């Protein structure tokens, strides 16, 4: 067992070190508290300026939203080849008869945890992403061709 020993420092040198440390401590500037404005004071609107490069773009911008009836109707039309929007369903729209088919999908959310991939609704776990994507749905219902 080795005993730790302190080196003996010359008393004169030790006094000089203590004086230097006191000077360092005294050099610190005092922190003045920030005076916050009263929250009841009236607010002042700040002046804003628009850059010269933004001015032509703003003149082209229309603030009114254009509503075109044909576009809204076009969104409601399902085209052949559209895939079902339900998670886990890979069926495509082939016509009106596709609405009669049963949709098997995952009603839960996908979980990716510590290398395992699974759905909250069925807990069928896999480590391979391709197998995860190929898992058949655990819930049956109707196809959703247009996501709202």
Give the DSSP H/E element, type plus range, for residue 116: strand 116-119
- Separation between Cα atoms, residue 18 and residue 22, nearest integer Å: 6
Asked whether the predicted pLDDT for residue 62 surpasses 80, the reply is: no
Contact status, residue 87 vs residue 106, Cβ threshold 8 Å: yes
Which tokens go with 113? 């945890």
Residue 12's pLDDT is 83
pTM: 0.47
3-state class of 31 per DSSP?
Answer: coil
* Vertex 53: Cα angle to 51 and 58 (nearest 5): 85
pLDDT tens-digit profile of 70-86?
Answer: 555 556 788 888 888 88
Which tokens go with 141? 């219902």
Residue 24's pLDDT is 67
User: How distant, in Å, are the alpha carbons of 10, 28, 88 from that of 133?
Assistant: 77, 63, 7
Give the chain's domains with CATH numbers: 78-141 (4.10.1130.20)
pLDDT tens-digit profile of 100-135?
Answer: 888 899 888 889 988 899 988 887 888 998 888 888
Which tokens go with 96? 């009106």
Task: Please name the residues in contact with 109: beta carbons below 8 A apart, sequence gap of 6 or more.
Answer: 119, 120
Task: Please name the residues in contact with 98: beta carbons below 8 A apart, sequence gap of 6 or more.
Answer: 91, 92, 143
Residue 135's pLDDT is 87
């Amino acid at each position: 067992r080795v005993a730790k020993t302190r080196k003996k420092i010359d008393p004169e040198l030790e006094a000089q070190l203590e004086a230097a440390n006191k000077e360092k401590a005294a050099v610190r500037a005092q922190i003045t508290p920030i005076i916050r404005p009263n929250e009841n004071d009236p607010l002042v609107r700040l002046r804003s300026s628009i850059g010269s490069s933004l001015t032509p773009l703003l003149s082209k911008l229309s603030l009114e939203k254009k509503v075109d009836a044909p576009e809204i109707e076009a969104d409601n039309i399902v085209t052949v080849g559209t895939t079902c929007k339900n998670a886990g369903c890979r069926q495509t729209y082939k016509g009106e008869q596709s609405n009669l088919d049963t949709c098997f999908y995952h009603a839960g959310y996908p979980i990716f945890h510590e290398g395992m991939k699974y759905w909250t609704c069925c807990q069928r776990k896999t480590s391979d992403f391709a197998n995860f994507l190929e898992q058949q749905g655990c819930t049956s219902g109707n196809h959703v061709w247009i996501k709202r």
